[in-house]
Structures are given as C-alpha cells and as structure tokens.
Structure 1
Amino acid sequence: MIALSPVHNDDPALALSPLLRSTLLTLDYIETNGPIGLTPLKALKRYFVQWAAEAFVWPHYTAEDLYYLNKVLNEHDFLPLMVLHDVMLGAKLVRHYKGAMHSTRLGKELRANPGKLWAVLTNYLLCVVDHSKYTRHGDQLVGTWDIFLNVINVEAHTGVSEERLCSVLFGGEEEEFRRHDYQLAASFYIHVLRPLCWAGLLEEHRIGKALEQREVYTKTPLWVAALNLETDRHLREPTRH
C-alpha cells in the first residue's frame, strides 16, 4: 500500500484522475440503467464498451482514436476499460452475478465519497494489479514504489522525459534508452508511468509526431495533495520569468 494523504471530496484535483472519473461514470450507469451485461467470457458487452468510449473521454484513448483502429469496439479494444474492469472487480466495487456486472454495497457507499474511492482505486491500480500482462514479454520491473515516487517527485517537478527517469533509476545514457534499451523503457512506462497518469498523479504531454514523438511528464495538483514524500525537502519552486 502507498500512504496517500486524504483528499477532500470537493477537491478539484480529483477531476484529474481518468480512473476515478470513469469509475464514477460506470457506477452511475449501473445505478441509472441497471447491471451491465457480460459476454460468455465475462467481458463487458459491446453496447457498454461503445458507451464508455464516448463517455470516458480517456486521454489518448478517445472514441475517435479507438474507432480509427476498429470498426466496432469490444472490451479488449479499449485497454483502459479492461484495466478499470479488473480494478473495480478486484477492489470489490462491483461483482459478476448471473451474466451481468452489478454494483456492490461498497461500490455504492464509495460512489458518494470520491476522495476515499480514489484512494482505493489508486492503491489497487499501483500495488495490486499485475501490469506485466500488459507488456509484450511479460516483463517484471525491479524497484519499489517508494523509490519510484521519490525520484519522480524531484525529476518531474518541472517536467521530465521517460528516458531521463530511466537513466536516473537504472543507470545509462538517456539516448541509449531512446534508441536501444527501449524494452526497459517500455516496461517502466507500463508498470509505473502509465498507472500514475491513469490515477491522475502525473500528466503525460506528447510532443512531436511519429518517430519524433517524445513524452514529458509533470506532476499534477493531485500529486501534491495526496503524496507526502521524503524528497519533498529537496524541492524548489520553479523559476518564473
């Protein structure tokens, strides 16, 4: 578990979490429309996937992005929804029953307490979900959240690239991670950077296009509100001109 400071329900920083926003939309959908149908393989049925693609407006996974690659949408075509389904089920916010996904008592209680709901979702996404199944080779990553968060806390104070973070954490030159050791960089993204972005603690800025595209990460107000880290004492306010 990661020690998260309590975030007030009315804190506007919570709106920065795609994970929380989409969970609330899903719980609201069930409350309004009833349980969500499941396929024989227990995936969410296509009608909900299509609704979610439009309603979630998930960064870098918008309906426009998804339909550009797929004529119709199934759950496995919308990766954030797959992960969200796993997180909500594992955190016992929903359950499968008689071919449909229902809200649990806990899900209904936390729906009215978004600050606590965010903490439950974030800890499950970061500390329980096995992200290796989303990597090409099932890669595991060596390191702890205490190390990752404290390093990112300093490096991302004014914006940092994936390659710079890999260089600081694992050694080696930044250019090597960009050109040659991209498997480790990709694993770090899937295990650490992407979950932090989906939780709303980091924001990913994509600069450039195609092979020239680079990603820069900055901390969000939710990071400041929810995390109290050892390296906070090393931070300085960025210079403004």
Structure 2
Amino acid sequence: MYGIRTLHADDPVLDSSPLVRALDFLAAKFDEFPNGIPLTKSLAFKRDLVAEAIAEIQWPDWTEQQIYHGYMRIKVADEQHFEPFWRLHQHLLDLRLVRHYKGKLLLSKTGKTLFANRFARFDRLAQYVLFEDPHRLFMRQEHGVFGSWDVWLNVMDIETTHGATGKHITDTFYGVEDEPNEFDPRTSRLHSSVLEPLIYCGLLDENRDSGRKLVERVYSKTQLWQSYLQLDEKPAMLRVVH
C-alpha cells in the first residue's frame, strides 16, 4: 500500500524538489503580473522569462551549462529547450489551473486557491505527474512496463536507501537477463515511465558520476520521499557486528 502525507507549506524539505522551485518561480511571476504572465504569439513563455527560470530554478540536468552548452549549443533558449518547464506549463493547462487569454497566462479560480499554498500546489502536481498523466499512462501500457505504483514505490523504498543502479532496479523488478545489455531496453522503458516522474517531483535523486548510461546511473530516495510518501512498514534490518 502507499499513501500521501500532508506537509506544512513552509517545510524546508520541499526546497529540494525542482518541481517545487519551478512552481515557486511561477507563483512569484503571477504576483508580479497580476493581469497575466505575457506569452509569445504561439502561447509559450517568452525568452527572457525562460532564461530567468533556467537560472533560478536550477533544475538538475537542465542548468545554464547544460542547456546553452550541451549537445546543441544555443545562445537563446525558448520554452521547449527547457523541457521540464515546458512540461509543467502543459500540466497546469491539463489540470485547468491556468488558462491562456489574450496572449497571457492567467490562474483559474481553482489555480488561485491552489497557488496560495506552497505544499498544496506541489501535492496536486506531483500526484498528477505520478498517477494521472495520460502520457505516462500510455507509455507504460504501450511499452509493457508491468507493475503498479504500490509495488514500484515499496520495492524502491528498500532498494534505493543507499543508492541503486538502473540495472539493479530493473533486475529487481524484471529478473536478470542471461546476456547483460548495457543498453537494456527494459531500463529505458522503466526510466521514462516510472523513474523520471519520481525524479521530476524531487522524490528520487539521479546521480551520473558512475556513468551516463541508464543502467549505470545511481538512484537514491530523497528526504522528501521519506516525508511525503507513506509506504508499508519494512522489517528492521539486522546489523552484523564483526
């Protein structure tokens, strides 16, 4: 079983979540532009706001260095270059927390209520990203990612306590393959549909120091994971004293 705990809006554990920081950034912009955040003609965030968001949010793997000096060097970033921020824009629209009106982004009535509380806005977006996003649901069904959030969360609650590679997590869920594959498609599918949403919300940390391949990356549950998720009680681990 799994559940969600309610946290105080000013709980510092929320600070570690890139999703929280992105929502904080937008909340400040809605305060700055009470009549709506100005958008481009194509209804995307303007470049100056995107540049400010990249610098302020410091989303892991989407920093100034990685966006402007990555595989495709660019001088100016549009919204789509900052993919998690673009996704957040879409999620807010899907949930009808915001709307486009006369070239601006405005909070809906529900959005205003939600954005007034730091935890409430994170909680709604996190549950949508994890459990409701139709894109992720389709990916899991289309790619045959078997399992449930009950199983994924409770197993990873144990396996990622001290860090686990993508290969270890994949093998734990789906068994060890006879011939090891450094580009295991099972890991790729699990990452895009299960691990990535957890990273997006700040519940799971992804470390690439041991390698950039998905099977090599090391995943660890964060303090927010332990504070926000209510999971099955685990048996006490025995300590062996030599």
Q: Measure the CA separation in 1 of the matches of 2:236 and 2:17.
A: 24
Conserved? CA contact 1:206–1:213, under 8 Å: no
User: Could you tell me which of 64, 79, 85 is aligned with 1:81?
Assistant: 85
Aligned residue number for residue 226 of structure 2: 224
Runs of 4+ in 1 over 6 A off after TM superposition: none
CA distance in 2 between partners of 1:170 and 1:228 (Å): 24
Q: Tell me which residue corresponds to 1:111.
A: 115
Correspondence for 1:50: 51
For the structure 1 residues 47 and 55, does the alpha-carbon distance in structure 2 shift closer, same or farther, using more than 3 Å as the test?
same
RMSD: 2.8
**Normalising by structure 2, what TM-score?**
0.84
Q: Matched residues in 2 for 1:194 and 1:186: separation? A: 10
Paired with 2:24 and 2:179, the residues of 1 have a C-alpha distance of 41
Per the normalisation by structure 1, the TM-score is 0.85
Counterpart amino acid of 2:224? L
Q: Per the alignment, do residues 211 and 109 of structure 1 end up closer, same or farther by CA in structure 2, a change over 3 Å counting?
A: closer
Amino acid at match of 2:91: V
| Distance change (3 Å), C-alpha of 1:82 and 1:111 | same
Residue 128 of structure 1 deviates from its aligned partner by 2.0
Report the more deviating stretch, 31-40 or 215-224.
31-40
Write the deviation string for residues 106-144 of structure 1: whole angstroms up to 9, x where unpaired.
333223321222210100111222445998xx7463322
The aligned counterpart of 1:190 is 192
Unaligned runs of 5+ in 1: none
Q: For structure 2, list consecutive stretches of 5 or more residues without a partner in the other structure.
A: none
CA distance in 2, matches of 1:93, 1:166: 35
- Over the matched positions of the two proteins, sequence identity in percent amounts to 32
Q: How far apart are the structure 1 equivalents of 2:74 and 2:143?
A: 27
Provide the aligned length of Structure 1 versus Structure 2. Answer: 234
Counterpart check, 1:11 vs 2:15: no
Following TM superposition, by how much is the alpha carbon of 1:188 offset from its aligned partner in structure 2, in angstroms? 1.2
Secondary structure of the residue that 1:117 maps to in structure 2?
Answer: helix
User: Which residue of the other structure, out of 201, 204, 207, is the alignment partner of 2:203?
Assistant: 201
The whole-number CA distance in structure 2 between the counterparts of 1:194 and 1:153 is 16
- The answer on whether the counterparts of 1:208 and 1:214 sit within 8 Å (CA) in structure 2 is yes
Query: Which of the numbers 143, 146, 152 marks the counterpart of 1:148?
Result: 152
Q: Aligned to 1:39, what secondary structure does the other structure show?
A: coil
- Asked if structure 2 preserves the Cα contact closer than 8 Å seen for 1:164 and 1:174, the reply is no
| CA shift digits 1:175-221 (9 cap, x unpaired) | 72x5242x221221111112111211111122145669931111111
Question: 139-148 vs 114-123, which deviates more?
Answer: 139-148
Aligned-residue offset at 1:19? 0.6
Determine if contact 1:203/1:218 at 8 Å carries over to the other structure: yes
CA distance in 2, matches of 1:167, 1:211: 16
Instruction: Provide the rounded CA distance (Å) in 2 between the counterparts of 1:205 and 1:238.
Output: 27
Query: Which piece of structure 1 moves more, 207-216 or 14-23?
Result: 207-216
**Contact 1:158-1:238 within 8 A present in 2 as well:** no
Q: Does the 8 A contact of 1:23 with 1:88 survive in 2?
A: no
Amino acid at match of 1:66: I
8 Å contact 1:91–1:120 — kept in the other structure? no
